[in-house]
Amino acid sequence: MAEAAGTRQMTAAEYLAWERQQEARYEFHLGEVFLMSGGSARHAFLAARCVTELSNRLPQDCKVMTSDLRVAASPGSHYVYADAVAVCGEIEIAEGTNDVLANPCVVVEVLSPSTEKFDRGEKWEAYQRLEHLRDYLLVSQRAQRVEHYRRAGDTWRYQALTGGDEVQLADGTRLPVDALYRGAFDLPGA
C-alpha cells in the first residue's frame, strides 16, 4: 500500500462509486482511500503462478480470479484487492454491487516492501472476518517461502513452507512451493 489519496474521508458507498471511475486501483480502509502501487516483474510472475497452480489443482467447482476483482474483506469498512482469490461453489457478490466479491475461500498476497506490514496486519485482520475464508497465503518475493494461515474452527493455524514443501489447503489441495516459484528468481524483484 502506498499512501492515502488525499485527506478526505469517504463512506464505503462514496468510495465504491468513486473508485469505479478511476484508472488506478484504490483500497478502502475505515474511511481512508489508498492508492495501490505497481509491482515488480517478480511480483506479477508470482501472482500469475499462484493463479495458474490454484486453477490447475483446485476442484472443478472452484473459480480462481486475479487481482482485478475487489474483495469485501469487511463490508462497509475494508474493500481490498488480493493478488489471487479462489471461490469454491457459487460466487457471492456483495449486496448492492456487481463487482465486489464476498466469499473467497482462498486469498493470496504476494509480499512487497510497501505492502508487507499491511498484508500481515490490518488487511489480515479484515480477511479473518470473511466467513468463507479457509486459507490465507503470504508469498515472499525475497526467498522461496510461503506462509500459510489455515482456519481451524475459531482459530488459525500457521505454517511457514519453503522449497520442497507443499501447502496443503483446507480442502486437501496441495500446492508444491517449488511449482509456485519455478522461474521467479530469473526476474527482477522487490
In the chain, the amino acid numbered 63 is K
* Separation between Cα atoms, residue 23 and residue 38, nearest integer Å: 13
What pTM value is reported for the model? 0.90
- Can you give the pLDDT at residue 8? 62
Cα angle value 40/42/47 (rounded, 5°): 100
* Separation between Cα atoms, residue 18 and residue 128, nearest integer Å: 26
pLDDT in tens, the chain (190 residues): 444 455 468 998 899 999 889 888 888 888 888 888 778 999 999 999 999 999 999 999 999 999 888 999 887 788 999 999 999 999 999 988 889 999 999 999 999 988 899 899 999 999 999 999 999 999 999 999 999 999 999 999 999 999 999 999 999 999 999 999 999 999 988 7
* Separation between Cα atoms, residue 126 and residue 60, nearest integer Å: 28
* Separation between Cα atoms, residue 164 and residue 93, nearest integer Å: 37
Contact status, residue 101 vs residue 69, Cβ threshold 8 Å: yes
- Can you give the pLDDT at residue 3? 47
Which residues, 6+ apart, have CB-to-CB distance to 23 below 8 Å?
none
* Separation between Cα atoms, residue 189 and residue 135, nearest integer Å: 25
**CATH numbers and ranges of domains, the chain:** 39-186 (3.90.1570.10)
List beta partners, residue 72: 79
- Can you give the pLDDT at residue 156? 98
- Can you give the pLDDT at residue 2? 45
